[in-house]
Amino acid sequence: MENINWLEKLTTRVIESGDGICWEEALKLQQLPLKDLINTAGKIRHHFHHNKIYACSIINAKSGMCSEDCAFCAQSSHHQANSPVYELIDPAKIIQDALQYAQAGATQFSVVTSGYQVTAKDLDNICRAAKIIKAETSLSLCASLGMLDANMAVKLKQAGFSNYHHNIETAPSFFPEICTTHAFDEDLATLENARKAGLNVCCGGIIGLGESWKQRIELAFTLRELEVNSIPLNFLNPIPGTKLANNKLVSPKAALRTIALFRFINPTKHIGICGGREVTLRDLQSWIFRAGADGLMMGNYLTTAGRSINDDVAMIADLEMIYESI
């Protein structure tokens, strides 16, 4: 009973102030019964985001051949995963996919490329496609093109992109275990370049890489310190041929607990559930909103298949949620 009273007071404080909880409170929350935790996290979500939901969609516009050694990634040239390999696709295909996702109900569309950084030629082609998409749809456009310098960020903004996605993947203390080919500070510089150009920053990570619960909480606090606009949470779907191929899936309960903790720590931010949702949560996918999320990714991911778009559209309709762009 004491914990329930404490949790109710904590939830009320977060709702009234809009400020996230502190480190010690997060550690205590992590130990509470899941039912109590997700019910209160859901109240926080509903207060700040009501019954609105954003629905992201992506296109894997350039795949494989990546020089980075991120331990989870099937597109890394350091791994032996069986993933597609191709250069930047025809801009007409990017436009076609965007139109299809817009018709299906997506509110966001992101152009994603593999590699450390796109070439000037590829960036120009992507920007040309973006201008046409903006003219023909109401989609909010996002780019995820690796490292970004100041000039690249300005070009994206001028082409009609409003968001830039660049995950830091995991807690700073665990990052060296996941990637050794670039420094954590390079990711932070990319986020800053995007922000200075007027782009909203979409930045999150992957849960289930081998990190501890304290490091999951550390990731949530790091994202709060970075003042990102939206937080995409992925759950590792281990891929054969990668360094983490033998990692176990995060349990549904652990996934929901993680979402709730991120909501308490980042109460006003957008939190979307992306890769690994289907295999991790299975029949509990609709519970992501009860646990505090206000967005999801529709369709396929980079190298793995997602759930049927029609199933997600039906779920959103059953929950009587309202689409919004961010």
According to DSSP, the residues that pair with 63 across neighbouring strands are 86
Q: What is the three-class DSSP state of 59?
A: strand
Q: Tell me 86's DSSP state.
A: B
What the block records as the tokens of 319 is 């929950």
Residue 3 falls within a domain, yes or no? no
C-alpha separations of 254 from 215, 231, 316 in Å: 14, 18, 23
Q: Tell me 74's DSSP state.
A: T
**Structural domain span for residue 270:** 37-323
The answer to whether the CB of 70 falls within 8 A of the CB of 169 is yes
Q: Tell me 54's DSSP state.
A: E
Residue 312 falls within a domain, yes or no? yes
The answer to whether the CB of 48 falls within 8 A of the CB of 318 is no
CA angle, 70 then 183 then 166, to 5° = 65
What the block records as the tokens of 48 is 């700040």
Helical (H) or strand (E) element with 218: helix 213-225
Residue 19 falls within a domain, yes or no? no
The answer to whether the CB of 186 falls within 8 A of the CB of 169 is no
> Which pLDDT score, from 0 to 100, does residue 2 have?
73
CA dihedral 224, 143, 152, 135 (to 10 degrees): -120
Residue 54 falls within a domain, yes or no? yes
What residues have CB less than 8 Å from 167, skipping those under 6 apart? 203, 204, 205, 206, 232, 234
Domain count, the chain: 1
What residues have CB less than 8 Å from 317, skipping those under 6 apart? none
Residue 150 falls within a domain, yes or no? yes
Q: What is the DSSP string of 135-190?
A: HH--PEEEEE-BS--HHHHHHHHHHTEEEEE---BS-TTTHHHH--SS-HHHHHHH
What residues have CB less than 8 Å from 164, skipping those under 6 apart? 142, 143, 144, 148, 153, 156, 190, 191, 194, 199, 200, 201, 202
What residues have CB less than 8 Å from 318, skipping those under 6 apart? 286
Residue 52 falls within a domain, yes or no? yes
Residue 30 falls within a domain, yes or no? no
Q: What is the mean pLDDT of each run of 10 residues along the chain (326 residues)?
A: 87 97 97 95 97 92 92 90 90 95 90 95 97 95 97 98 97 97 96 98 98 98 97 96 96 98 98 95 96 90 76 93 90
The answer to whether the CB of 272 falls within 8 A of the CB of 45 is no
Q: What is the pTM of this model?
A: 0.95
The domain that contains 164 carries what CATH number?
3.20.20.70
What residues have CB less than 8 Å from 200, skipping those under 6 apart? 162, 163, 164, 229, 230, 326
Residue 158 falls within a domain, yes or no? yes
Alpha-carbon distance of 102 to 299, in angstroms, equals 12
> What is the distance of C-alpha 2 from the center of its chain?
35
